[in-house]
C-alpha cells in the first residue's frame, strides 16, 4: 500500500473519531478513559469491576490513555476538551493501523483485487465506522487480531518450507495475538484456535512450542501480572477472575441475556450488515477456509455466554471483510460494469446513511449533556455538585468534565441489580426516589440531570419548589433499541439550583 493511501486512511479515521457524537455502551468511557483519568489526575470513578473484591479488568488498556493524559499534562495541553476527546483520537489512529493491516491480510490471503474491496468493505461499514474509533478494549482487540492474521503463516503459502520465514511469521502473528490477550483476555478464544491449528500443521511441533509459543505466552502472562500488580497494588490474574465471574458463576447474566443463537440470527448480521452476502459468496467460492473456520469457532464459543453484545464481535470483522472483498472482486469480474457500479453506490449509500444517523444522532444526549456541564462548571467558581438522576453509567463522567466536583448516580453493581434497588427505582419510580433524596432540602446538588420522562414524573412545579430552574433541554434520540426501555428517552434535561442560575 502506498504511503499516500496510508495518510488518507489515517485522516479518515481521525475525522471518523471526531464525527462520532453518540453513546453506545458505558464501557467506552467507564473502563478506559475514566480509569486513566483517575490514574493520572487522582480522581475519577472506578466501577465495581475494578474493586478489590472483583478485579475483573486489566489495567493494560486504560494505561494507554493514561500515558496519553500524562503526555498532555506534561506539555500543558490537557485542556478539558483534550482530556475528553484525545483518547478517541488515539483510538482513531489505532483503528487506522487496523485498516492498513486488513489490506495486508487480504492481499496475502486473497490477492490484490480482493484486498482493495476488503478495505472498501471496512471503510464503508456502518458498524466499523460506529465502533472502531470508540475506546473499547474490543476495538484494540480487533486491531491486534488483524495484525496477527496479517502475519500468520497460512497453510497455502508456498514459502512455508523456508523455516526462517515460517518462524518469523509465526512469532509475529502470535505476538500480536498475545498483545490482544493482554488488552482483552477474551482474545484468547481466537488465540487458542489459531495456536492449535498452527501446532497441528507444524512440521516441528515441539520446536515451535518451546521456542515460539511458550516464550510469547510467558511474556504475555508476565506483562498482565506486572501491569495489574502496579494497577491494583496486589498480585492478581485478571483472566482467572473474569472466567470465574462470567463462566463459572454465570453472573454475566445480570447484565442482560440472549438466547444461544442470538449472534447467528441478530448480532453477527448486524455487525456484518451489507457485507454478509458477499462474505457468504467469498467463503463459497474460495478454497481457503481457515478464516471462515476461525469465524465459526469464535461464534460458537461466544454463543455459549449468556450476555451477548454486538461489539464483542469486532475481532471477527477483519476476516469477515476479507471474504466480502473476495466476493466483491469476483462479482466485479463477472457482472456488467454499470450494474456493479450501481451496487457499489447502493452499498455506500446504505452504510453511509446508517453511519451518519447512529454516529451523529442516536443517543447523542449523553455527550452533549456533559459538554454542557463542562462549560457550566467552568463558569461555576463555588463548590458545585452534579446528580445524574438516571440509569447508571448513562453518560461519561470525570473524564469528560475534568473537574473534581461531587458527582452522583445510582449504583448498579451486581449486589444492587435487584428489583426495588435505587437504580431500579430511578427508572420505574423516579418521583419516590426524588422525594426521598431531595424533598427535605439537605441533599440537593447544584445541577440535576435527568431524562425528560423523569422530569414529567417529578413535575416542573415540584422542581421549582425545590429551587431548581431548567438550564437546558438536550435532544437524545428518536427511538429506543433497548427492550427494557420501550419508550424512547427523547431528551435529557439539566436543572440548576436557582441560587446559582
What is the DSSP code string of 321-334?
Answer: HHHHHHHHHHHHHH
**Exposure class string for 309-334: b at 16+ Cβ within 10 A, else e:** bbbbbbbbbbbbbbbbbbbbbbbbee
372 shares a domain with 308: no
Q: What is the pLDDT of residue 265?
A: 94
Asked if residues 288 and 152 have their Cβ atoms less than 8 Å apart, the reply is no
Classify the C-alpha dihedral 254-260-266-269 as positive or negative.
positive
CA distance 96 to 11: 9
417 shares a domain with 396: yes
Q: Can you give the residue range of the structural domain that contains 464?
A: 365-500
Domain boundary residue among 360, 378, 403? 360
Q: What is the pLDDT of residue 240?
A: 96
What's the mean pLDDT in 225-233? 97
Enter the C-alpha cell of residue 477. 434520540
CA distance 150 to 247: 31
Place of cell 523455516: 163
In a domain, 7, yes or no: no
Cα–Cα nearest to 467, from 489, 447, 488? 447
Q: Is the predicted pLDDT of residue 244 greater than 90, yes or no?
A: yes
435 shares a domain with 306: no
405 shares a domain with 329: no
Q: Is the predicted pLDDT of residue 455 greater than 90, yes or no?
A: yes
Residue 137 β-bridge partners: none
- Average pLDDT, rounded, for the chain: 93
Q: Three-state DSSP class for 185?
A: helix
Q: What is the pLDDT of residue 167?
A: 83
Q: What is the pLDDT of residue 182?
A: 97
Enter the C-alpha cell of residue 170. 509465526
Q: What is the pLDDT of residue 369?
A: 98
326 shares a domain with 427: no
In a domain, 462, yes or no: yes
384 shares a domain with 241: no
What order do you get walking across the sheet with 406-408 strand by strand?
406-408, 385-389, 447-451, 491-497, 468-475
pLDDT digit string (tens) for 338-392? 999 999 999 999 999 999 999 999 999 999 999 999 999 987 766 899 999 998 8
In a domain, 271, yes or no: yes
**239 sits in which H/E element:** helix 238-243
Q: Is the predicted pLDDT of residue 123 greater than 90, yes or no?
A: yes
115 shares a domain with 227: yes
Higher pLDDT: 351 or 153? It is 351
DSSP state of 247: I
> Rounded to 10 degrees, what is the CA torsion of 480, 486, 488, 493?
-120
Distances in Å between the Cα of 448 and the Cα atoms of 20, 166, 311 are 26, 61, 31
Number of domains in the chain: 2
In a domain, 187, yes or no: yes
Place of cell 515451535: 208
Q: Is the predicted pLDDT of residue 232 greater than 80, yes or no?
A: yes
416 shares a domain with 275: no
342 shares a domain with 489: no
What's the mean pLDDT in 269-274? 96
118-127, 169-178, 290-299, 418-427: least confident range: 418-427
In a domain, 210, yes or no: yes
Q: What is the pLDDT of residue 501?
A: 59
pLDDT digit string (tens) for 456-480? 999 999 999 999 999 999 999 998 8
Q: What is the pLDDT of residue 483?
A: 67
CA distance 375 to 334: 57
Per DSSP, the chain holds a count of helices (H) and strands (E) of 25, 5
493 shares a domain with 345: no
Domain boundary residue among 360, 390, 409? 360
In a domain, 400, yes or no: yes
Residue 389 β-bridge partners: 450
Cα–Cα nearest to 149, from 199, 203, 107? 107
pLDDT band at 495 (very low <50, low <70, confident <90, very high): very high
Q: What is the pLDDT of residue 155?
A: 82
Q: How many residues does the chain have?
A: 501
In a domain, 5, yes or no: no
What's the mean pLDDT in 257-281? 95
Asked if residues 143 and 94 have their Cβ atoms less than 8 Å apart, the reply is yes
CA distance 466 to 325: 60
Share of the chain above pLDDT 90, in %: 79
Cα–Cα nearest to 171, from 156, 194, 189, 152? 152
CA angle at 117 for the pair 116 and 123, rounded to the nearest 5°: 95
134 shares a domain with 99: yes
Bridge-based pairing state of the strands 447-451 and 491-497: antiparallel
Share of the chain above pLDDT 70, in %: 97
Bridge-based pairing state of the strands 491-497 and 468-475: antiparallel
pLDDT digit string (tens) for 382-400? 689 999 999 889 999 999 9
**389 sits in which H/E element:** strand 385-389
**Exposure class string for 182-213: b at 16+ Cβ within 10 A, else e:** bbbbbbbbbbebbbebbeeebeeeeebbeebb
Place of cell 440472549: 258
Domain boundary residue among 309, 336, 360? 360
List the alpha helices (DSSP H) in 314-415: 317-334, 337-360, 365-379, 398-401
117 shares a domain with 181: yes
CA distance 185 to 195: 15
Cα–Cα nearest to 109, from 329, 307, 288? 288
Cα–Cα nearest to 61, from 210, 180, 196? 180
pLDDT digit string (tens) for 283-321? 999 889 999 999 999 999 999 999 999 999 999 999 999
In a domain, 439, yes or no: yes
How many other CB atoms are found less than 10 A from the CB of residue 493?
24
Q: What is the pLDDT of residue 420?
A: 64
Amino acid at each position: 500500500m502506498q504511503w499516500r493511501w496510508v495518510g488518507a486512511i489515517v485522516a479518515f479515521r481521525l475525522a471518523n473519531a471526531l464525527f462520532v457524537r453518540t453513546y453506545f455502551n458505558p464501557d467506552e468511557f467507564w473502563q478506559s478513559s475514566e480509569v486513566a483519568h483517575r490514574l493520572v489526575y487522582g480522581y475519577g470513578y472506578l466501577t465495581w469491576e475494578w474493586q478489590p473484591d472483583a478485579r475483573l479488568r486489566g489495567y493494560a488498556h486504560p494505561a494507554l490513555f493514561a500515558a496519553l493524559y500524562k503526555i498532555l499534562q506534561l506539555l500543558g495541553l490537557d485542556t478539558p476538551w483534550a482530556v475528553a476527546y484525545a483518547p478517541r483520537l488515539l483510538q482513531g489512529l489505532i483503528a487506522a493501523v487496523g485498516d492498513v493491516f486488513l489490506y495486508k491480510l487480504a492481499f496475502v490471503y486473497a490477492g490484490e483485487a480482493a484486498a482493495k474491496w476488503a478495505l472498501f468493505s471496512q471503510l464503508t461499514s456502518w458498524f466499523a465506522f460506529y465502533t472502531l474509533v470508540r475506546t473499547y478494549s474490543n476495538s484494540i482487540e480487533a486491531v491486534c487480531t488483524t495484525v496477527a492474521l496479517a502475519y500468520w503463516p497460512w497453510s497455502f503459502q508456498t514459502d512455508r518450507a523456508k523455516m526462517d520465514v515460517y518462524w518469523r511469521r509465526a512469532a509475529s502473528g502470535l505476538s500480536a495475538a498475545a498483545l490482544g490477550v493482554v488488552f482483552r483476555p477474551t482474545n484468547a478464544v481466537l488465540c487458542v484456535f489459531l495456536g492449535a491449528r498452527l501446532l497441528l500443521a507444524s512440521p516441528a511441533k515441539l520446536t515451535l512450542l518451546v521456542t515460539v509459543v511458550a516464550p510469547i505466552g510467558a511474556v504475555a502472562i508476565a506483562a498482565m501480572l506486572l501491569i495489574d500488580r502496579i494497577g491494583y497494588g496486589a498480585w492478581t490474574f485478571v483472566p482467572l477472575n473474569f472466567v470465574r465471574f462470567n463462566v463459572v458463576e454465570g453472573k454475566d447474566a445480570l447484565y442482560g441475556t440472549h438466547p444461544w443463537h442470538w449472534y447467528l440470527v441478530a448480532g453477527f448480521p448486524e455487525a456484518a450488515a451489507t457485507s454478509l452476502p458477499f462474505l457468504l459468496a467469498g467463503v463459497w467460492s474460495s478454497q481457503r477456509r481457515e478464516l471462515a473456520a476461525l469465524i465459526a469457532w469464535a461464534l460458537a464459543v461466544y454463543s455459549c455466554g449468556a450476555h451477548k453484545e454486538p461489539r464483542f464481535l469486532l475481532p471477527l470483522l477483519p476476516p469477515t471483510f476479507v471474504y466480502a472483498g473476495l466476493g466483491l472482486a469476483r462479482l466485479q469480474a463477472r457482472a456488467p460494469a454499470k450494474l456493479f457500479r450501481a451496487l457499489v453506490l447502493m452499498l455506500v449509500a446504505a452504510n453511509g446513511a446508517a453511519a451518519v444517523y447512529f454516529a451523529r444522532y442516536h443517543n447523542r444526549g449523553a455527550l452533549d449533556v456533559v459538554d454542557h456541564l463542562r462549560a457550566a462548571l467552568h463558569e461555576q467558581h463555588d463548590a458545585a455538585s452534579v446528580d445524574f438522576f438516571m440509569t447508571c453509567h448513562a453518560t461519561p463522567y470525570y473524564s469528560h468534565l475534568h473537574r473534581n466536583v461531587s458527582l452522583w448516580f445510582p449504583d448498579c453493581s451486581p449486589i444492587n441489580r435487584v428489583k426495588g434497588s435505587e437504580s431500579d427505582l430511578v427508572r420505574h419510580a423516579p418521583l419516590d426516589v426524588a422525594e426521598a433524596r431531595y424533598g427535605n432540602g439537605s441533599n440537593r446538588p447544584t445541577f440535576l440531570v435527568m431524562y425528560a420522562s423523569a422530569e414529567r414524573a417529578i413535575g416542573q412545579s415540584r422542581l421549582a419548589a425545590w429551587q431548581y430552574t431548567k438550564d437546558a433541554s438536550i435532544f437524545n434520540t428518536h427511538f429506543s433499541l433497548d427492550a427494557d426501555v420501550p419508550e424512547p428517552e427523547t431528551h435529557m434535561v439539566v436543572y440548576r439550583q436557582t441560587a446559582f442560575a
